[in-house]
Structure 1
Amino acid sequence: MKEKRYWQNSEPYHLVEVLIEGNNVIFKDWFDSGKDPNRNDWSFKEFLSGKGKEEIIYQLGDRVYFEILGEVKKIQSRE
């Protein structure tokens, strides 16, 4: 089964993206598509210790947070 590495929540004038790249979880919060997003990068170790949890739950909900957490654990267990 293919891993999921991208999640988003799009509203008018606001886009939130979370993606897994390498061994990092990247959170991008776009308020204006013509400007650079607010961005946070967390290593898997940081993410597993709780960094980013509040931001992701607030913007995307706990179901998505736990889905991302599960993907990170799955990827890390294979390394």
Structure 2
Amino acid sequence: VAADGKSLVPPLSRGGIPIMSMNLLLPDEGDAVIWRGPMVSGAIRQFFSDVQWGELDYLIVDLPPGTSDAPLTVMQALPISGV
């Protein structure tokens, strides 16, 4: 992950798809990220607004199952046009 001073530049997957994960920002990508409510919601909002995604046709968001803060934040805070 690179930063240009204002936003994050996501690395590309082997298939050329931009990806972003909290683990990519940690010193050791194998470390667990154990956060609750406001921290999770803030990270999701920041990934949407502060990552240079470029022109998107689709944005795939991989979330844990259930109705925890992460899926609720995505459904309430991001401009969703289809699920």
Which TM-score applies when normalising by structure 1? 0.29
Which structure would you say has the larger Rg? 2
Tell which has more relative contact order, 1 or 2 (C-alpha 8 A, sep 6+): 2
Structure with the largest fraction of strand: 1
